[in-house]
A and B are shown apart, each in its own frame.
Chain A
């Protein structure tokens, strides 16, 4: 008879016909991890977490300070290597695979092998589709053109559930930008007492939009780096709110005003009525009133 991969089929040495339920076996012989080991693992995990964040931020600092661009694989390699080390620590000590039956480790390894086998060819195909002949390039390389977003869907259940906007075949992000500009224009028109936005209002709205965009979204360097006054920078909004209580310097007053306008964490509606007038109001899906308005649209980008 052959010996098997694991040996549990052999009549269990612990099996006792007089005590078939094993009630008197006080100890299964399982490994009990020591408290020091668990604590050490936790500290190592925390260390690696801080390390990976530190390296990532350091890389940003390095690139900004010395005006160099590191290749992306450096970033990916560092972050992923540390993640693998951390995962191994969790698996080995917290999950106890270091002391467990090898079978459970095999399960994990087979699963990881299957994951790799899933990821690699799929990515390879989507990345290499146009290497030999261009006709296979398809839409994937040019993805996001919004070409399919010009269909009006018939009425029914899914129209409510699926907010498929009619962008007139424009990419979605451009459509949203135009929507925002249009709303500014109608707000300006309303403030001036017009019924509809005039060309001057549109120009003003577009100007406002780009000023705001460059102030708050694209920052001094022109890169899309996080800015302290970023709309969703909750940490910055906290420090601003705190500073405004004991404020005496002109700068902190200004920051408090900014906080009121843009990033009050207590009341989001304040932010909504800031410089982006009506931007975040509820839109009824499918009620697209801007389809006719696309004439002057697109010249800004």
Chain B
């Protein structure tokens, strides 16, 4: 890649006049302050990364606890003397007389798992951490458009998360993460914890809006000279589509939760039939945001997969425009389909309409998957951790997507709704899609972010553990769901015991896999070998700069001279041709 140097001509590497963004300036406290008051998108991205990973840890612990509770069915027996024995209930307080208390604890646990994972982890996860770090780098920009707004968004995120954690400390909520009325307006009437959890989601929405707004403007205004819309990496397209959804959908959750808070505090009646309101209206409001937000969760993951597959298979991405436009297509369709969460609540007319529209989602999604598979064809595939995660994504996300069909079909959904089939479906999409993509992307960009290589062997071991554990955990739940196991129950009939046990074993395997990753990353930070500027031979612009990047991202004003996926014709920056050989020129090669 050629760069145009407007100021002075440096040879690549060996700059000592401008340190990396990680280099501490001054003592301990001044470094802390420098991070806390930074407007550097890279530092904010790293702060976001650690914040969302902490939330992922909290939510993950709740998930492990949920699976532990489900390891055995809860049984309540009464002997001849009238004494009650409860077995199989993990969280019942000692000497409990009935299973109710333990079941309520279970309700709180799965609500916490859902609320934390959705609002505090998965929505901000990829865009706010990896997106924040790499969007300006990939665009060849020095920063996002509004750096201070970016920092504000992080603080709002932290504030919202503190409210969420406060709600947990106060005892947790049992409304489910969807806050459906009347659960959310009548339960725990003597406590502030539901208030805090709803407030947390409300505040986090602002953080999401500000991030999205910032990214849209950055993409429009700060692309490096020479970078047209179709010269952007596909990760940027995905983040751009995500940001549009965030900007257009998140305000609706704002007003929804505001109305919910007023309903709860002052009983204004908009969601209360006794005053003429309608609880189903809340569901409409809620899902108008929360369905598009499903694509806020998955689209950045899809963007990461596009990058991983192209770089680690050393192939020009197949169907660049199709993938780019399908991102926008998914964003557009996402606003048309929210009603499929409410098939059992709505009238037939709307249900039919929404069912038909829901199938539209399959088109852009399938376009992406087919293009990814075509990209792999005749690629020189490196089976390293990022690539294995990308392949896992293709496998798991396809299962997640295809099991959406029976749920979108009105007649089968009436049987499957609120069963473990739904649970398995969205975990295949959310975890098998987004989380897998995020961990893959984290491995891919880890050398760039922190300047250290990770241990490839342990990375692969971790990846395999997560992949196997995931399937053991959630594939069983498809069977549970079709056999009639409803979601959100602490107990179940004995017929489901084996499958639930297998599912719980799977959750332990996942936990083990993530622990392997965690120690691998810590080891990398402490003792990992120094990363070269471009370990994978990537062509996008973040690989042009040092690892980790210098404070102002690039030494030069960037000017784009080649596309992000021209692996057939361009020697990657900082790499020699022996390492990443170009294919022999062919008739009709290239794109």
User: A and B bound?
Assistant: yes
Known: A103-B220, A133-B348. A4 touches B228 (CB 8 A): yes
Chain A residue contacts of B354, Cβ below 8 A: 121
Picked from A9, A132, A143, the residue with its CB within 8 Å of the CB of B275 is A143
**Once the chains bind, are B273 and A157 in contact (CB under 8 Å)?**
no
Is B223's beta carbon under 8 Å from chain A?
yes
**Once the chains bind, are B281 and A126 in contact (CB under 8 Å)?**
yes
Q: Please name the residue on chain A nearest to B223 by beta carbon.
A: A9
Chain A residue contacts of B346, Cβ below 8 A: 125, 129, 136
**Once the chains bind, are A159 and B280 in contact (CB under 8 Å)?**
no
**Once the chains bind, are A148 and B220 in contact (CB under 8 Å)?**
no
Known: A117-B336, A128-B350, A136-B348. A162 touches B264 (CB 8 A): yes
Is B474's beta carbon under 8 Å from chain A?
no
Size category, B interface:
35 or more
Picked from A3, A10, A139, A140, the residue with its CB within 8 Å of the CB of B225 is A10
Complex CA distance for A163 and B339, rounded to whole angstroms: 33
Chain B residue contacts of A8, Cβ below 8 A: 220-221, 223
| Min CB gap B226→A, angstroms | 7
Complex CA distance for A156 and B190, rounded to whole angstroms: 4
Chain B residue contacts of A45, Cβ below 8 A: none
Is B505's beta carbon under 8 Å from chain A?
no
Known: A4-B229, A163-B267. A140 touches B278 (CB 8 A): yes
| Min CB gap B312→A, angstroms | 26
Chain A residue contacts of B281, Cβ below 8 A: 122, 126
**Once the chains bind, are A1 and B274 in contact (CB under 8 Å)?**
no
**Once the chains bind, are A156 and B189 in contact (CB under 8 Å)?**
yes
Chain B residue contacts of A147, Cβ below 8 A: 273-274
Q: Please name the residue on chain A nearest to B346 by beta carbon.
A: A125
Known: A125-B347, A132-B347, A136-B347. A9 touches B225 (CB 8 A): yes
Complex CA distance for A282 and B274, rounded to whole angstroms: 24
Interface residues of A in 224-244 (CB under 8 A from B): none
Is B288's beta carbon under 8 Å from chain A?
yes
Chain B residue contacts of A153, Cβ below 8 A: 189
Q: Please name the residue on chain A nearest to B284 by beta carbon.
A: A122
Q: Please name the residue on chain A nearest to B561 by beta carbon.
A: A1
**Once the chains bind, are A126 and B288 in contact (CB under 8 Å)?**
no
**Once the chains bind, are B248 and A111 in contact (CB under 8 Å)?**
yes
Q: Please name the residue on chain B nearest to A130 by beta carbon.
A: B347
Interface residues of A in 114-170 (CB under 8 A from B): 114, 117-118, 121-122, 124-126, 128-133, 136, 138-140, 143-149, 153-159, 161-164
Known: A153-B189, A157-B191, A163-B267. A124 touches B349 (CB 8 A): yes
**Once the chains bind, are A159 and B274 in contact (CB under 8 Å)?**
no
Instruction: Identify the interface centre among B244, B252, B348: most chain A CB within 10 Å of its CB.
Output: B348
**Once the chains bind, are A121 and B349 in contact (CB under 8 Å)?**
no
Chain B residue contacts of A117, Cβ below 8 A: 335-336
Is A193's beta carbon under 8 Å from chain B?
no
Chain B residue contacts of A1, Cβ below 8 A: 226, 228, 230-231
**Once the chains bind, are B228 and A121 in contact (CB under 8 Å)?**
no
Chain A residue contacts of B266, Cβ below 8 A: 161-163
Chain A residue contacts of B382, Cβ below 8 A: none
Contact code string B263-278 (vs A, CB < 8 Å = 1, else 0) = 0111100001111111
Is A299's beta carbon under 8 Å from chain B?
no
**Once the chains bind, are B278 and A126 in contact (CB under 8 Å)?**
yes
Is A79's beta carbon under 8 Å from chain B?
no
Complex CA distance for A172 and B353, rounded to whole angstroms: 36
Is B388's beta carbon under 8 Å from chain A?
no
Chain B residue contacts of A139, Cβ below 8 A: 273, 278
| Min CB gap B59→A, angstroms | 27
**Once the chains bind, are A17 and B6 in contact (CB under 8 Å)?**
yes
Chain B residue contacts of A5, Cβ below 8 A: 229
Is B512's beta carbon under 8 Å from chain A?
no
Complex CA distance for A155 and B191, rounded to whole angstroms: 10
**Once the chains bind, are A2 and B228 in contact (CB under 8 Å)?**
yes
Complex CA distance for A9 and B336, rounded to whole angstroms: 32
Chain B residue contacts of A126, Cβ below 8 A: 278, 280-281, 284
**Once the chains bind, are B230 and A146 in contact (CB under 8 Å)?**
no
| Min CB gap B142→A, angstroms | 12
Picked from A121, A129, A148, the residue with its CB within 8 Å of the CB of B273 is A148
Is B51's beta carbon under 8 Å from chain A?
no
Q: Please name the residue on chain B nearest to A113 by beta carbon.
A: B335
Known: A4-B228, A128-B349. A154 touches B273 (CB 8 A): no
Complex CA distance for A22 and B274, rounded to whole angstroms: 63
Known: A5-B229, A125-B350, A132-B349. A118 touches B252 (CB 8 A): yes
Is A36's beta carbon under 8 Å from chain B?
no
| Min CB gap B216→A, angstroms | 9
Known: A126-B280, A131-B348, A136-B348. A121 touches B353 (CB 8 A): yes
**Once the chains bind, are A158 and B189 in contact (CB under 8 Å)?**
yes
Q: Please name the residue on chain B nearest to A170 by beta carbon.
A: B274
Is B453's beta carbon under 8 Å from chain A?
no
Is B381's beta carbon under 8 Å from chain A?
no
Interface residues of B in 248-262 (CB under 8 A from A): 248-249, 252
Contact code string A70-89 (vs B, CB < 8 Å = 1, else 0) = 00000000000000000000
Is A280's beta carbon under 8 Å from chain B?
no
| Min CB gap B569→A, angstroms | 15
Is B64's beta carbon under 8 Å from chain A?
no
Interface residues of A in 99-119 (CB under 8 A from B): 103, 110-111, 114, 117-118
Picked from A114, A136, A143, the residue with its CB within 8 Å of the CB of B277 is A143
Is B209's beta carbon under 8 Å from chain A?
no
Chain B residue contacts of A199, Cβ below 8 A: none
Is A246's beta carbon under 8 Å from chain B?
no
**Once the chains bind, are B350 and A157 in contact (CB under 8 Å)?**
no
Chain B residue contacts of A145, Cβ below 8 A: 273-274
Q: List 18 A-B contacts (CB under 8 A).
A: A1-B228, A1-B231, A8-B223, A110-B248, A111-B248, A114-B248, A114-B335, A121-B284, A125-B280, A125-B346, A140-B280, A143-B276, A144-B275, A145-B273, A148-B272, A157-B192, A162-B265, A164-B267
Q: Which 4 A-B pairs have the closest CB atoms?
A: A156-B190, A148-B274, A144-B276, A129-B347
Contact surface of B with A, Cβ cutoff 8 Å: 6, 182, 189-192, 220-221, 223-231, 244, 248-249, 252, 264-267, 272-278, 280-281, 284-285, 288, 335-336, 339, 346-350, 353-354
Contact surface of A with B, Cβ cutoff 8 Å: 1-6, 8-11, 17, 103, 110-111, 114, 117-118, 121-122, 124-126, 128-133, 136, 138-140, 143-149, 153-159, 161-164, 172
Additional A-B contact list (19), CB under 8 Å, known A10-B225, A10-B226: A1-B226, A1-B230, A1-B231, A8-B220, A9-B224, A103-B220, A122-B281, A126-B278, A126-B280, A126-B281, A129-B350, A131-B348, A136-B346, A138-B280, A148-B272, A156-B190, A161-B265, A162-B266, A164-B267
